[in-house]
Amino acid sequence: MQMPAAFADKPLIATEAVPACPVCGSEASQQFASGYDYELLTCRNEWFFVQCDQCSHVRLDPRPAVDTLKVIYPPTYYSYNYEEKISPVAVMGKQMMDAAKMKGILKNLDKLPESFVDIGCGNGRFLRAMERHGLNRENLYGLELDERITASLSAEGFKAYDRRVEDCTEIADNSIDLATIFHVIEHVDDPGSVVRKVAGWLKPGGVFAIETPNFESLDARKFKTTFWGGYHIPRHWHVFSPATLRKLVEDNGLTVVDTQYHTGHSFWMYSYQHLFNFGKSPKPRLAKWFDPFNSLPVLIGFTAFDKLRSDLRYKTSAMLMLAQKN
């Protein structure tokens, strides 16, 4: 599609090809979607998602070269400081949804875990949540690629490391009861190697909970060609469906025990925001109403809508798959 004018003065960044599907290895694929960095406008590249002919996994190809990561993840990237950017009401709502999410995970374990790792632990909110469930800080591990965050968590007594899963040697095999990775696996270069590594860390019977966008959701279908917020172009390198995520975890040593669906309110809002900013007849003033950080009434509306849909057993765009080590 034609480049929107807002991207004209942005840099063109280096890319690398991803010839083979990381889920099944096939090199046959079809174009699935294309678009620009509508959210952060970091570069003027047009990006393409392709779908594997064999297993239907969707990947970004080509994707940003490794030495451009500091361009596509600017220092203001919201994952690092979202609580400072959203309203106190939204923070409270998020805390309630986090607690419900953890409860839904823990009900699948035979007993309360004694050891826990959160991959992409941010400010450590899930480590603290598990501490409230009675775990000791020396058994609470967090991985986050920001040294300032891991230094401050380590100073508090948590086991926090600024490493990628693949490079982390501090966690022993067969030592972890519960591992979580919320909205991170879609960002990594090789999701299979992440699952294999975590499967090694788990004790037999241990559970790995993976939350990631689902391209078989209502919002994903409605905005499929370019504007779906779940693409997070060009930072999401993989987009899964329940079937492709199941194949990934089961091919790498785990067994799926449950799949849950949470609210994809941010994806709904970004989808409309991108449509109103960059669609055929732009409506920038309307787009402002769909900013997830700055439009509480719309946020509450989409959260309620998706909560109802998930209660009615519809598949939303935020799927949470639980897989167990035998």
Residue 23 touches Zn ion, criterion: CB under 5 A: yes
Q: Work out whether 248 is an interface residue with Zn ion (CB under 5 A).
A: no
Name which position in 55, 86, 218, 287 contacts Zn ion (CB under 5 A): 55
Q: Supply the angle between the helices 296-311 and 88-106 in degrees, to the nearest 10.
A: 20
Q: Is 135 in the site for Zn ion (CB under 5 A)?
A: no
What is the C-alpha to C-alpha distance for residues 246 and 256, in angstroms, rounded to an integer? Answer: 7
Written as one letter, the residue type at 167 is: D
- In angstroms, what is the minimal distance from the CB of 63 to Zn ion? 16
Number of residues that bind Zn ion (CB under 5 A): 8
Nearer to Zn ion by Cβ, of 33 and 135: the residue is: 33
Q: Which residue is listed with tokens 């009675």?
A: 134
> CA 261, CA 310: separation in Å to the nearest integer?
6
Judged by beta carbon, residue 243 or residue 286, the one nearer Zn ion is 243
Does the protein bind Zn ion through residue 21 (CB under 5 A)?
Answer: yes
Choice from 13, 52, 105, 254 touching Zn ion (CB under 5 A)? 52
Q: Are 161 and 150 in contact (CB under 8 A)?
A: yes
Q: Residue 245 interacts with Zn ion (CB under 5 A)? A: no
Give the residue with the Cβ less far from Zn ion, 50 or 171.
50
Q: Which of 6, 24, 97, 218 binds Zn ion (CB under 5 A)?
A: 24
Which residue number, 52 or 129, has a Cβ lying nearer to Zn ion? 52
The smaller minimum CB distance to Zn ion, of residues 7 and 32, is found at 32
- Applying CB under 5 A, does 20 fall inside the site for Zn ion? no
Q: Does 238 bind Zn ion (CB under 5 A)?
A: no
In terms of phi and psi (left: phi > 0; alpha: psi -120 to 50; beta: otherwise), the region of 174 is left
Other Cβ atoms less than 10 A from the Cβ of 133: the count is 12
Instruction: Render the burial of 102-131: b for 16+ CB within 10 Å, e for the rest.
Output: beebbeebeeebebbbbbbbbbbebbebbb
Residue ranges in contact with Zn ion by CB under 5 A: 21, 23-24, 26, 52, 54-55, 57
